[in-house]
Amino acid sequence: MALIEETAGRDVYRISEATAGDYIELLKPRVMSLVVFTAIVGLVAAPGSVNPFIAIVAILCIAVGAGASGALNMWYDADIDAVMGRTAKRPVPSGRVRPQEALSFGLILSFLSVLTLGVLVNWLSAAILAFTIFFYVVVYTMWLKRSTPQNIVIGGAAGAFPPMLGWAAATGGIGIESVVLFSIIFLWTPPHFWALALFKCKDYGAAGVPMLPNVCGERTTRNQILLYSLVLAPVGVAPWMLGFASAGYGVFAAVMGAVFVWYAFGVYRMKDGDERMIPAKKLFGFSILYLFALFAAILVDVIVGDMLRLFSVGLA
């Protein structure tokens, strides 16, 4: 990190006033918390046992890798972050951290997280982590985000990898179960972000980011939200149908999926030119709860299943 900057041709120095907190903000802690949570679910749901310390190291590496891609995203997107109210106060656009510092920080953490995961856990999970960082930074941030309204459909894959990473860290392989967990997040991403884009349409428009509402219109966006929700709801139940979650999870996921579709239907029925966008805001809020609840249910399901198995072994 360059801490003193010499202005060309003048004897003027700029000394960094960035605190550790500013660098932690570069890691996008909120996004990181969801990544950590879904990776833990993937790791715990995987068959077999893994040393608890190795498991903690794996989750730590995945968290740092996710944070690194967040820092690289903030480095590249500083120009559009500066014009959007939601992101204008981030460390780079606000001037607290220089772009070069954010870039170095992101690259060093990416390298360290992948290398540590490979050396201490296994190289398959390290390869998936490296691919996830590449996908988020290069494919989504540098390419898709500014060029197509389908940006978050394809880019959503980057956010869907963490449970697969957790699974690979525990087993050294990729099972159908981890692909299902991937699919849930992958299909959840479009309705979640398009609901946000509906009521933040002007922000994205001002920044020149081609989101679906400001390229194809609100009507198309509302149709697409409903379509994705109708596909997401049954996929949410798939862990039970494929036999790696209990019937209790299946019922819970079915109810949550039905509520999701209900909220999406509310967005579908929204009138053209609705300024308040209440249904879109409700769907956005519920979508966060939905994903958290489904993964929490899988986690509880696995833990309860293990306890019952231990109990029955004890009785025998």
Any bridge partners for residue 13, and if so which? 6
Identity of the residue, 124 or 180, whose beta carbon is nearer to other proteins in the bound complex: 124
Identity of the residue, 96 or 200, whose beta carbon is nearer to other proteins in the bound complex: 96
Task: Please state whether 224 falls in left (phi above 0), alpha (psi between -120 and 50) or beta.
Answer: alpha
- Which of these, 306, 293, 300, lies nearest to 47 by C-alpha position? 306
Q: Is 85 exposed, middle or buried (0-12, 13-18, 19+ CB in 10 A)?
A: exposed
Identity of the residue, 20 or 315, whose beta carbon is nearer to other proteins in the bound complex: 20
Using the contact rule CB under 8 A, the part of the chain among 51-59, 163-171, 246-254, 255-263 near other proteins is 51-59
13 binds other proteins (CB under 8 A): yes
57 binds other proteins (CB under 8 A): yes
Where do we find the tokens 């715990």?
Answer: 44
- Other CB atoms within a 10 A radius of the CB of residue 128 amount to 23
Determine which residue in the list 8, 15, 313, 316 makes contact with other proteins, applying CB under 8 A.
Answer: 15
Identity of the residue, 116 or 132, whose beta carbon is nearer to other proteins in the bound complex: 116
Q: Give the list of residues 6+ apart from residue 174 with CB closer than 8 angstroms, or none.
A: 124, 164, 167, 168
17 binds other proteins (CB under 8 A): yes
Using the contact rule CB under 8 A, the part of the chain among 54-62, 76-84, 241-249, 276-284 near other proteins is 54-62
Identity of the residue, 18 or 34, whose beta carbon is nearer to other proteins in the bound complex: 18
12 binds other proteins (CB under 8 A): no
16 binds other proteins (CB under 8 A): yes
Identity of the residue, 49 or 312, whose beta carbon is nearer to other proteins in the bound complex: 49
Q: Provide the residue count of the chain.
A: 316
**In angstroms, rounded to a whole number, what is the distance separating the alpha carbons of residues 168 and 72?**
24
Minimum CB–partner distance for residue 30 and other proteins (Å):
19
- Name the strand (E) or helix (H) holding 184: helix 176-199
Say which DSSP state 173 is in.
S
18 binds other proteins (CB under 8 A): yes
105 binds other proteins (CB under 8 A): no
23 binds other proteins (CB under 8 A): yes
Identity of the residue, 20 or 247, whose beta carbon is nearer to other proteins in the bound complex: 20
Identity of the residue, 117 or 283, whose beta carbon is nearer to other proteins in the bound complex: 117
Determine which residue in the list 31, 60, 127, 254 makes contact with other proteins, applying CB under 8 A.
Answer: 60
Could you please report the per-residue DSSP string of 44-113? HHSSS---HHHHHHHHHHHHHHHHHHHHHHHHHTHHHHHHSTTTTTSTTTTTSS-HHHHHHHHHHHHHHH
Identity of the residue, 168 or 291, whose beta carbon is nearer to other proteins in the bound complex: 168
Minimum CB–partner distance for residue 54 and other proteins (Å):
7
53 binds other proteins (CB under 8 A): yes
Cα pseudo-dihedral 297, 300, 303, 307, rounded to 10: -120
Residues 151 and 140: beta-carbon distance below 8 Å: yes
125 binds other proteins (CB under 8 A): no
Determine which residue in the list 2, 33, 47, 51 makes contact with other proteins, applying CB under 8 A.
Answer: 51
Residues 97 and 26: beta-carbon distance below 8 Å: yes
4 binds other proteins (CB under 8 A): yes
What residues line the site for other proteins (CB under 8 A)? 1, 3-4, 13, 15-21, 23-24, 51, 53-54, 57, 60, 112, 116, 120
